[in-house]
Amino acid sequence: MAPSVFQRLSRIVRSNREDTNIRSNPNSLNNRQTTQYVFHPGESEADRLNRQYNFTKRILHRTTALPRSISPNTVSSVMDVGAGTLVWTLDLLQTTQPRPKRVYACDISAAQFPPREEVESMGITILEHDATERFPPELHG
């Protein structure tokens, strides 16, 4: 049986556990030196975010990442803004049919992202970007 999204995430997060300090994080996409997020990135914060997502989904009686009011047939491009560990994006890919054609995830800090090669192999484009700033022109439209 294929591993669940949470099993997969736990494995990815474990493999990423050395990347607890954004100042020396080699996965950081553009070596930003600061983040405005109040919690320290790392395994325990990643675990907290993943549990929080799972808990929220349960209390909202959701079986998929998309709310029932949104039909997957109408969604071709998606961006998870403030993606953290990408827990929502990964759940989206596991629970949504048809899958959106273009899937992006951005966060002001890449410190909690799973390794880029894992993410890209799933067809997710990640970017370290402050959502209060203009997005790159290739993402407009």
> Least CB distance from residue 60 to ligand SAM, whole Å?
13
> Least CB distance from residue 9 to ligand SAM, whole Å?
10
What are residue 35's phi and psi, to 5 degrees?
-140, 150
Closest CB to ligand SAM among residues 121, 132: 132
Query: What does the block give as tokens for 11?
Result: 């494995």
Q: Is 104 a residue that touches ligand SAM (CB under 6 A)?
A: no
Q: Which residues contact 116 (CB under 8 A, 6 or more apart)?
A: 27, 29, 126
CA distance 133 to 20: 25
Residues of this chain that interact with ligand SAM (CB under 6 A) are: 35-37, 49, 53, 81-84, 87-88, 106-109, 112, 130-132
